[in-house]
Structure 1
Amino acid sequence: MNESSRDDVGTATSLLETSLALDSDGSRIAPARDLAVAFLVQARDDHGIPVATTAVENAQLIVSELVTNARKYAPGPALLHLLISGAMLQVELWDSNPVAPAAKAPDPKRIGQHGLEIVTALAQTVTVERTPLGKRITADIVLSTTTA
């Protein structure tokens, strides 16, 4: 996990971040989930950042859905990036497919293809941005509902 400081508006903000390169064979889905858990536990235990159990569970599921979809629909490598800034975890996944995902109409008979629906339901915000070599999906997760 990397720590850095940034001075965007005259105040220093501590940022915690980590990344994981993903192969196209799908073998990194479980390690990506494990990385999200370890990252949040370390942020809580070593840095005193309030992290609710639901935030850890939501992060695991969001990472799993994003990585699974990247492996299923993108032909090349992908990159998972996790960043804590303030009270938010930013889960960012870049993959090589420039096509933006689209939520499908509700269909109780449909098997699968619910990933974007799940991510959107669990995240505070979800954005999709085309990049020169693919796309970046970013999901922001509230770390804790308690305030100090």
Structure 2
Amino acid sequence: MDQTDVRGLLFRGAITVSAAFGDDDEEIPAARALARSFLTDLQAVHGFPVSGRVMGMVQLVVSELVTNTRKYAPGPCLVTLEVQHGAVEVSVWDSSTTLPAVLAQGPARIGRHGLEIVMAVSKSFQVQREPVGKRITAAIVLADDPDGDVAGHKL
């Protein structure tokens, strides 16, 4: 994100970034790189606290959600990262109308734990039908403070 983009984001009062990704597996690391760049700018340019935990969790959530779109939804996906109420909201839109399902646990089940992981590390998780497809949004708290207080920049 160049300086012109950052000034535009500040002027509108939002700190957000979006990118569309194609339908091949090479897009998954590109989506993680988008998240890493967004969080680096969030800290360096805007003064928000971004711990190693937050950096890892946001990239994990982006990776799991984009991986699901690659497996279960045809076509491109749109990833949006936005700071809202002391958390980074990760939204992934895809073209499939099929809502995700968390499978029952069992000792014979191998893999397909992505949504469970996302839900476990997120402050909130929601699935929303769109006019075309669906949007999955998960929020990861920026604060590492056990009381939930955001250190640094206040929203």
TM-score normalised over the length of structure 2: 0.85
Match of 1:15, SS?
Answer: coil
Match of 2:98 in 1: 99
| Structure number having the greater helix percentage | 2
Q: Which residue of structure 2 aligns with residue 143 of structure 1?
A: 142
Alignment of 1:46-85 (within 5 A): 46-85=45-84
Secondary structure, in 3 states, of the residue corresponding to 1:72?
Answer: helix
What is the distance in 2 between the residues matched to 1:67 and 1:117? 15
* Structure with the larger strand share: 1
The normalised TM-score by structure 1 is 0.89
Deviation at 1:92, TM superposition (A): 0.2
Question: 1:89 corresponds to which letter in structure 2?
Answer: V
State the Cα deviation string for residues 57-111 of structure 1 (Å, max 9, x = none): 1001100000000010001111000001241100000000111111111123212
| Aligned-CA RMSD value | 1.4
Matching residue of 2:31: 32
Q: Look up the equivalent residue of 2:98 and give its one-letter code.
A: V
Structure 2, unpaired ranges of 5+: none
Stretches of structure 1 lacking an aligned partner (at least 5 in a row) = 7-13
Alignment coverage as a number of residue pairs:
141
Which residue in 1 is equivalent to 2:110?
111
Q: Work out the CA distance in 2 between the residues paired with 1:135 and 1:84.
A: 21
Q: Deviations over 1:2-37 (max 9, x none)?
A: 41456xxxxxxx321111101112221001011111
For residue 57 of structure 1, give the secondary structure of its aligned residue in structure 2: helix
